[in-house]
Structure 1
């Protein structure tokens, strides 16, 4: 190498040395940015990697040889002098000192990185720590700033006081054991008020300037954990700080998910504002993650454990429930933010707890999440998590967990239509390529261009159907869960939400599963242990399938008609009003599909049987249920005009024989041979004016004008909507004719039941006319 090359290398080394010294000085003063510290640390680590590895290898070799010597030594109690000297020499050697120095530098860099946000910010024009700013003076029309340097003694004295105060807070807490009960209570109130002021101050600072005051999150998080808080008020302060920090996060979390930057993006130059925003996002995400870990640690104590019972009046249970509500609030308010899927899976796991309040809180949060999920991303993830936990627990979960599926806004799924269309077009393109030789060049180009345009449309539709993809994935997990429950746990309490879900989502099933699900539903309704509501849901799901794409299925639905006809007399005997209203609502929805939508497939005598039984059960039902049933009967007369023969008393009817009210077969009871004028005449004596109006309207033959006509508001409302309207208004009225019917049964010494109800009420109607 020539003299010029040596001089160049010498200059380069000198510049490098100056740059390193400048970086060290800036780091000591705390003026280095975080990304510069990270870059300097990486360069320094790579520079000393070889030396560190070499020193580590020498240390490992020495330790290995030392162990061999100790193993071969006969006398373990007496060590030779040369071995002791070797220990001393090793500790004083350059390699051992180098390892210690490198480790010390790494620990120092780590501490500097962790405490960077706690260091005081320095702005242009701001005086140093050892300078006290005085009032300015005016000289010749100009303001002159004055300052005074603080002596080192006073500055060191202040620092020593701060260090001593910090040490006292960390190591000691005041002893109040010598105070009386009244003084102790007063002291506790003072400490709580001081903690409230500190919490409110941190929260206000964060809400006012979140990017400049992110270090306040650390203070609040330490108070949540009970650190640096006196044991006298630790429990109260923990609860206050946790509730406050949740609300702070809800208010300062941005409206987007924070993405972690890659190494290349970090090394790129950024604007000052962009760098500040990136530092704020990373700090916020770090403390948000730590807070979620703190909440998770608390709520895991609510999970079921063997021979472990957590008392509800303990602080552990109270803090765990507060943490659970905090997680629910964060999930609902910031479902778009990071870690939302982690919170969802945690709440699904907590829904298997043995505490009913915990299950209700988790399921309510999941229901609100699914109801507000427009993109269906959370619905897909939640359905997958619930399906996994049902499989893991072997269906031993709460029915409320499966009821959360009903809140999902899934209206459409991808049943493979787009995939088939794409495969068809690709096959057509292959066939076109084979026929290329037999076609002219212009004709081939024209057909190929048309085919490529169709393919682009299909591919564009696939790329735009992200919501459809999430909906399809969610329904796949939902149906897998439903089929698992029907197959393995047909007698469990899970059957109600499963059948209700099937009746809601049955139209989203693929056609190839229709035969299997219909046969499974037919076997379910034959079981005697089934509740009335579950059986009605079962029939409703079957007719949803048969009324949609399952029209072509070769299935005789008479078994479902007969089941509903038999179940109708059980509805009035339900003692719980809420459950009875649900049964009537599902029954009217089911009858609408059975009789109105399938009016071409159902016989007139079968419809007449349902009309007769519906009118009979009206006499022992509340007025809002009677209104809904009469509105449903009106739709039957509209879709089946020939039913008007039942309104003409004294005329000959088409059917032969007498009406048999005790027969539970709608095709064999000869309902068309009787009239319904007697039932409607008695209902005209009802106390509810809306019931009287509908009864007169039916008895008059559904006139569109005159005294017996009804308004468009009443005629256009769905029958089951009357039940929902009364449920929202919390209307709970008693059956108007129930006392008269009870007195009649008492005189006749008859016990009214679902089996003899129609016969007894037919005889009672004669006495009322």
Structure 2
């Protein structure tokens, strides 16, 4: 026993020698676990409806026709027992599920609101904004006004990254598209913020933010089509086409797919495809107000540049939009492109793996042989030209130098 204790001694290190643990990283990961919660009010209602749906039992006439007296007696006792079990299971499961979901959401929202109120410059804020964007449809209506004010204050502060500001916009419109429809709240300041900051996206580090942008545009313009004016839709379509020129191909595809949906949702925006249309005022591309930039007086010339893009899917979308986004005909999209959402197309044609999608077709062997033959002909003509030129020059040079040229050209 003494030998073991002497062989295995425990060494206690001072606190300064221990590795430093980043508690903020731990807290961020803890907050991100909230995103894995599958709590949706609609699904809970569907479950309760399915559970509470009464089971169909045999009528007395059916029993008398098909069953004997003893069988009817056993059937009656069996059905009574089944009714009692169903009532017990239904009441217990629905009550437990609703109670558990309510308690869980209360804890989640208390955590989020506490960080928003007391630690707005904390590195935990991105996880909070992402969580609010996911569970915004479950927030109580009483908190809508205060929450929208906080989100707008965060955007105006300038302390957020572009991705975080997109999460703020996404949360605000998720709130307004659900129970917030009954409230008299004008979200124009969020439209203006997104419109004036679109050009912060590019083919570099902010390219991944395009996915959140596509989700924001779907909630802001497509799902709120009745609250969106034609001028606002025209301005966004024009600026999105300009943005599609300087982002990666998957982002361009997602943006053009969004413009396709907007042009079908707002049919009068096809005037942007007409070069001869006239209106009052001059288009002001540098103005940050989508309602007053006179977008009706411009045209989507960017589509002609995108039609010459090196990516075939971008070319296809540009040609489709130039034709007016038809649903039939030669310029209509294939089902694998038309039935997918903009976010799905962004993921499908992602270049994160540093590969071309679709892959580049290799040239045929016949084409390669033609190229090689052409190169050989060029090399022969070039060698003959050099030899002839050297022979002409050699007549005017000494004999020793001419011998040197001949030996070097062999």
| TM-score computed with the length of structure 2 as normaliser | 0.70
CA contact (8 A) 1:647 1:675 kept: yes
Partner of 1:643: 269
Paired with 1:563 and 1:542, the residues of 2 have a C-alpha distance of 12
What is the Cα deviation at residue 458 of structure 1? 11
The SS at the match of 2:201 is helix
Distance 1:474 1:601 in 2: 34
CA RMSD of aligned residues (A): 3.2
- Native 8 Å contact 1:413 1:469 kept in 2: no
Secondary structure of residue in 2 paired with 1:512: helix
Q: 1:725, CA displacement in angstroms? A: 2.9
2:298 to 633, 650, 674: 674
Match of 1:410 among 34, 39, 53: 39
Q: Distance in 2 between matches of 1:730 and 1:645?
A: 39
Change (3 A) 1:530 1:458: farther
| 1:729 CA drift (Å) | 5.9
2:311 corresponding residue in structure 1: 688
Mapped partners of 1:521, 1:629: distance in 2: 25
Specify which of 653, 658, 668 is matched with residue 282 of structure 2.
658
| In the alignment, structure 1 residue 566 sits paired with structure 2 residue 196 | yes
Matches within 5 A, 1:326-405: 354-355=20-21, 398-405=27-34
Within 2, Cα distance between the matches of 1:563 and 1:532? 11
Say whether 1:721 aligns with 2:344.
Answer: yes
Query: Hey, what's the Cα distance between the residues in 1 that align with 2:215 and 2:352?
Result: 21
Matches within 5 A, 1:156-235: 170-172=1-3, 231=8
Q: Distance in 2 between matches of 1:704 and 1:501?
A: 37
CA contact (8 A) 1:413 1:471 kept: no
d(CA) in 2 for partners of 1:458, 1:651? 69
The answer on 1:601 being equivalent to 2:227 is yes
Measured in 2, the distance between the counterparts of 1:646 and 1:710 equals 20
* Paired position in structure 1 for 2:247: 621
TM-superposition CA deviations, 1:122-178 (whole Å, max 9, x none): xxxxxxxxxxxxxxxxxxxxxxxxxxxxxxxxxxxxxxxxxxxxxxxx3436xxxxx
Look up the match of 2:207.
580
* Cα offset, 1:728, TM superposition: 8.5
Alpha-carbon shift at residue 399 of structure 1 (Å): 2.5
C-alpha contact 1:683 1:692 (8 A) present in aligned 2 = yes
Q: Which is bigger in relative contact order (C-alpha 8 A, separation at least 6)?
A: 2
User: In the aligned structure 1, how far is the partner of 2:144 from the partner of 2:355?
Assistant: 40
Structure 1 unaligned runs (5+)? 1-169, 174-226, 236-300, 312-353, 364-397, 417-455, 734-769
Does the C-alpha gap of structure 1 residues 489 and 633 become closer, same or farther in structure 2, counting only changes over 3 Å? same
Residue number in structure 2 paired with 1:160: none
Partners of 2:244 and 2:289 in 1: how far apart? 20
Contact 1:697/1:703 (CA < 8 Å) preserved in 2? yes
Contact 2:136/2:174, CA 8 A, preserved across alignment: yes
User: Does the Cα contact within 8 Å between 1:412 and 1:468 map onto a contact in 2?
Assistant: no
Q: CA deviation at 1:635?
A: 0.7
The equivalent of 1:496 in structure 2 is: 126
Q: 1:731 to 1:671 in 2, by over 3 A?
A: farther
Number of the residue aligned with 2:66: none
- 1:722, CA displacement in angstroms? 2.2
Give the SS at the match of 1:308.
helix
Within 1, Cα distance between the matches of 2:127 and 2:243?
Answer: 27
TM-score computed with the length of structure 1 as normaliser: 0.38
Q: 2 CA distance for matches of 1:462 and 1:518?
A: 37
Q: Which structure would you say has the larger Rg? A: 1
The alpha-carbon deviation at position 526 of structure 1 amounts to 1.4
Q: Distance in 1 between matches of 2:99 and 2:351?
A: 35
Task: Report how far residue 414 of structure 1 moved.
Answer: 11
How far apart, CA to CA, are the structure 1 residues paired with 2:212 and 2:88? 40
- Cα offsets for 1:569-613 (capped at 9, x unmatched): 11117x42xx531x1111111111111111111101111111111
Q: Please give the alpha-carbon distance, in whole angstroms, between the structure 1 residues aligned to 2:148 and 2:91.
A: 33
Q: 1:458 to 1:230 in 2, by over 3 A?
A: closer
Mapping for residues 264-275 of structure 1, pairs under 5 Å: none
2:109 and 2:28 map into 1 onto residues whose CA distance is: 15
